[in-house]
Amino acid sequence: MEILDKHSIENSEFIEETFAFWYTDENHIRSPFPVNIQFRLKKEATEKFHDWLKNLKPEAKEEINKGKIAEKLEEIIFETALPLITTEDEKISTLYPFLPRVGDPLYDDSKKSTIVVDRYLKKVDDTNYLHVSCVNKETDEKWDTKFELPA
């Protein structure tokens, strides 16, 4: 593994593409990271990633591949982001980036468009849920639903 130099990691295409992927709202991906932490997150996560690479044992360096490296970088990014986040809603977006967010459209049983107006995490017994409150745009009727979250 030859990418252990800190400067080359910070300026690498791999780092730039990874952060561009998570910071850009394109296609089916929306950035789970608030804009106000993105600069600091990139700096701190890149430093932690460099330290992780630098401290790999020689036998691990021989076995590592691009997939494992990419997975570790994303893990570091998400772990680094959580302490930088200031609101519960931002935390939910970071922990569960693909679930509905406040302002998203959802559809009730009648297939009428509604908007997510609130969400929160709740644990029931050993199961975690994302509770979502919605308002029907046509009738102002409110309804709630929940999504079981991965462990």
What are residue 100's phi and psi, to 5 degrees? -60, 145
State the pLDDT at residue 27: 63
**Whole-number Å distance between alpha carbons of 93 and 101:** 7
State the pLDDT at residue 22: 92
Tokens of 49: 């990633």
pTM of the entire structure? 0.83
- Contact (Cβ atoms closer than 8 angstroms) between residue 53 and residue 4: yes
pLDDT along the chain (151 residues), means of 10: 53 86 82 95 94 86 83 96 96 92 82 89 93 90 90 72
- Contact (Cβ atoms closer than 8 angstroms) between residue 40 and residue 48: no
Q: How many CB atoms lie within 10 A of CB 130?
A: 18
**Whole-number Å distance between alpha carbons of 40 and 96:** 21
